[in-house]
Amino acid sequence: MSQSIFIQVGQCGNQIGWRFWDLALKEHAQVNPKGIYDEAMSSLFRNVDSKTGRDIDPISNLSINAPSTFIKQHKISDLRARCVLIDMEENVINQIKSSPQGFLFRDDQMIMSNSGSGNNWAVGYSEYGTAYHDTLLEAIRRQAETCDSLQSFILCHSIGGGTGSGLGSYLSTQLHDYYPTIYRFSTAIFPNCKDDDVITSPYNSLLSLNTLSESVDCVFPLDNKALTEICERITQKITKASNSYKDSTLKTKMTNNKEIDLLSLKVRETSVQHTIADSFFKQDINLQKNYPKEFKARPFDYMNNIVSQMLLNLTSSVRFPGDLNVDINEISMNLVPFPKLKYIISSLSPLFTISNNSISSSLRNIDQMFSDAFSKDNSLVKADIKNNKFLACALMLRGNVEISDVRRNIEKLKSQLDFIYWNQEGWKTGICSTPSLGQPYSLLALSNNCSVIDTFKDMRKNFIKLYKRKANVHHYTQYIDQDYFQNALNNVNNLIDEYTSLENAIPPSENEMNHWRKSILY
């Protein structure tokens, strides 16, 4: 089983990571009630023998019927996440440490500093990058050494702030140099272009886009605004069905306890205590009428739940078996036709935060799920993928979905979606038989779509607005050369050009094709 190492950088990255590990743990607890450290788990977690401090090998499927003593040996004893936590502030990491999920992380996986990066890409990239170069790589190397077949790094960061964008992009270049054969994915939280709390975010985001486009295999852009909208929509739905929800929470709590009961002690501890989102949600339901504002003030956990749900779906077929396995490296193979155009829009269906499973937002049927996935509302980026050109599309399915359902829906969607002429049949399907938490089936649609241009255009506009007056540039030039700015601008211009040329691509005439065909063949 191949492994992935999760690298969370900056405040935003760490908060997402926090939710991600919680959900991942729950998901595995659901599948694996005996608490055996199996191969599915080994791709994200490692199991450390508490006495010797060595890693225990996962139990292979071959010997699952082995005697109980053997299983006992493979019980989860000391679970660790395969991840590295990086932040230039102590706050969030300390919170994580003291949280119920804190046992997953050890000090050697955490790299902290006292002073933040001050929302300055250059500080994160240049100053902290060089200063922490050795410790960063050492921590990653230590994680990589515990893997018997490391396949991918999943970088999780925002590109608006300082640490996530600066240090994150620095890290991606280093990973590119030190681990060239290992796939690097970046889950980048794009800033809200309309009204952003950080003034320098246009600089930060374009600068980090520039480095990411060269050093990462795939970028999954996520939009804060789209995420908040999704969360609002979900909660609206939920309030309608709050009565039914009360019953269901009781039920889910019961089942949760029961499920986890068999898991090892530490997992049980964490899960019996309500995770933050759950408790928060409960609070929200109980006190909704009295304190509706409080909920809106801190929607991050919901948003992060959605992001981590998407990440879990992405890695699901690496971890669990299925009819049509999709290895994580197949994603970039199928979705990235040209090395530069690697911005992949993800959309989830059904949309849910973890606690409101199987109630109001539950699906009517499978076909609904497919059509929902391509609607504007379900996309995790503000983009209208339906009315723009597709370069390629991947459907990552989980649960009891059969190939005939997929075929039927692809046929249906084909007429609605506009694919580029040379890739009319650019569909990739993955089916993972293990459903996601609390849902019978779910779909993650990944599309390489021309609608990302809009986001880039907004970012360029904001960037130029600032850069015209050279506002705040002097903060950056302390650390980096001014060429970086020009390069970043050129890069984004190129991207926009390439996407627009594809958007407007017209199939060549038959004569032209035949001529060309002859020229290469004869």
Partner 1 sequence: MSIVVIQIGQCGNQIGYNFFNTLSNYLNKKENKILNKKFKKTNTSTFTTTATITTKKQNNINNENDDINNKENKSINANIINLINENVNENRNEKSFKKIINSYNKKNTNTTTTTTTYISNDNDNDNGNSNSNNDDESKDKDWNYWKLKQKLYQHFFNLSTSKSYQSSYTLSTQQKKNNDDYFLNDRKKEKEEKIIENGNKMKYLKNNTDNNNNKTTTTSSFNNNNNSFSETNIKIKARAILVDSEKKVIKNIINKTKGKSWKYDENNVYYEQIGAANNWSFGYYMHGPKAYQSIKNRIQNEVENCIDFDGFLIMQSLAGGTGSGLGSYFTEKLRQDYPYASILNIAIWPYQTGEVVVQNYNIILSIGHLYKYSDAILLMYNNELHSICSTKLNQKSVSFQQINSLISDTLINIFLNKKPLNLPTDSNLSSGLSLFNINNNNNSYNYNNTTILLNQLRKFPFLTSQINKQRQINKSKISMRHFIQHLCPLSKFKLLSLKFVPQISGMSEQFNITNWNGLLRSLSQMALTDKSLDEKLNWMITIKKPYHEYHNPFINFISNILILRGENIPKPITNVTKSTSNSINKTTTTITTTTITSKTNSNLLLREQKKNNINNTNTNTDINTNNNTNADTNTNTNTNTNTNTNTNTNTNNNNNRNNKDHPLTIISSNSYFNYQYVLDNLKLNSNLPIYYSNDTYKYSQSAYLISNSTAIIPKLEEVIEKVIQMYKTKAYIYQYNKYGLTNTHFEKVLLDIEQILYDYKTCIPKV
* Interacting residue ranges for partner 1, rule: CB under 8 A: 1-2, 39, 60-62, 64-65, 148-149, 151, 321, 323-325, 327, 329-330, 332-339, 392, 394, 402-407, 410, 414, 421-429, 507-508, 513, 516-517, 520-522
Cβ proximity to partner 1, 89 vs 503, nearer residue:
503
Q: Give CA separation, 464 vs 24, 125, 143, 209, 487, in Å.
A: 41, 21, 41, 15, 13
Minimum Å gap between C-beta 160 and partner 1 is 31
Least distance (Å) between residue 212 CB and partner 1 = 18
**Cβ–Cβ < 8 Å for 84, 111:** yes
Under DSSP, the state recorded for 376 is G
Q: Which residue lies nearer to partner 1 by CB, 261 or 323?
A: 323
Instruction: Kindly tell me which of 231 and 331 has the beta carbon lying closer to partner 1.
Output: 331
Shortest approach of partner 1 to residue 70 CB, angstroms? 16
Q: In the bound complex, what is the minimum distance in angstroms from residue 328's beta carbon to partner 1?
A: 8
Element housing 489 (H / E) = helix 483-503
Of 142 and 517, which has the nearer Cβ to partner 1?
517
Contact 261, 267 (CB under 8 A): no
Report the residue number, 91 or 424, with the smaller CB distance to partner 1: 424
Question: Per the structure block, which two tokens stand in for 244?
Answer: 């039914």
235 C-beta neighbours (distance < 10 Å), count: 21
42 vs 271, beta carbon nearer partner 1: 42
Smallest gap from Cβ 151 to partner 1, in A, equals: 6
Shortest Cβ distance from residue 219 to partner 1 (Å)? 17
How many angstroms separate the Cα of 180 from the Cα of each of 227, 328, 470? 32, 16, 36
Closest contact distance (angstroms) between CB of 425 and partner 1 is 4
CB nearer partner 1, residue 261 or residue 503: 503
Residue number with CB closer to partner 1 (65 or 68): 65
Q: Give the residue with the Cβ less far from partner 1, 142 or 407.
A: 407
Crossing angle between the packed helical segments 168-178 and 133-145, to the nearest 10 degrees:
60
> How far is it, in rounded angstroms, from Cα 175 to Cα 184?
8
Nearest to 456 by CA among 491, 496, 502, 488: 496
Q: Minimum CB separation from partner 1 for residue 65, in Å?
A: 7
Task: Kindly report the number of other CB atoms within 10 A of residue 23's CB atom.
Answer: 21
Q: Is 416 exposed, middle or buried (0-12, 13-18, 19+ CB in 10 A)?
A: exposed
Burial (Cβ within 10 Å: 0-12, 13-18, ≥19) of residue 212: buried
Helix or strand holding residue 392 (H, E):
strand 389-399
Q: Which is nearer to partner 1, 355 or 429 (CB)?
A: 429
Q: Hey, how many other C-beta atoms are within 10 angstroms of the C-beta on 338?
A: 10
In the complex, minimum distance from the CB of residue 89 to partner 1, in angstroms, rounded to a whole number = 36
Question: What single string gives the DSSP state of each residue in 151-214?
Answer: EEEEEEEESSSSIIIIIHHHHHHHHHHH-TTSEEEEEEEE--SSS-S-TTHHHHHHHHHHHHHH
Interstrand relation of 45-48 and 79-81 (parallel, antiparallel or unpaired): antiparallel
CB of 196 to partner 1, least distance (A): 35
Give the separation between CA 515 and CA 304, rounded to whole angstroms: 52
* Cβ nearer to partner 1, comparing 291 with 422: 422
What minimum distance in Å lies between the beta carbon of 145 and partner 1? 15
